[in-house]
Amino acid sequence: MSDCPCRNDLMERINEASFAVDDVKLYLDTHPWDDEALVYFQEYSRMRNEALKEYAKHYSPLTVDTASYSEDARWKWIDEPWPWQEGGC
């Protein structure tokens, strides 16, 4: 069994966590003292960041904060298919 996760599975995790984070951020705009919502935000934000880092590690960075230089000092995402290209996200 490969230790490299499926690209589509990782994208699904990222999208689900991103939706949850964005949704609860809107709620927190009007309910900033809801401790349960804040805990939910922190948990899904952590899950999203972990999934983004894992995706960057195995494929290419999706956000600038998960970008790193490759050995030859180029941005890795230049070498990967863009989301709208075949084989992309």
Per-residue pLDDT of 11-23, as tens digits, reads: 999 999 999 999 9
Q: Is this model's pTM higher than 0.85 or not?
A: no
Higher pLDDT residue, 9 or 63? 9
Assess whether pLDDT exceeds 50 at residue 34.
yes
**pLDDT value, residue 85:** 76
Indicate the domain borders of the chain: 7-79
Among candidates 10, 4, 2, 25, which has minimal Cα distance to 66?
10
Assess whether pLDDT exceeds 70 at residue 76.
no
Residue linked to tokens 């922190």: 42
Instruction: Find the mean pLDDT for residues 60-77.
Output: 64
**pLDDT value, residue 70:** 41
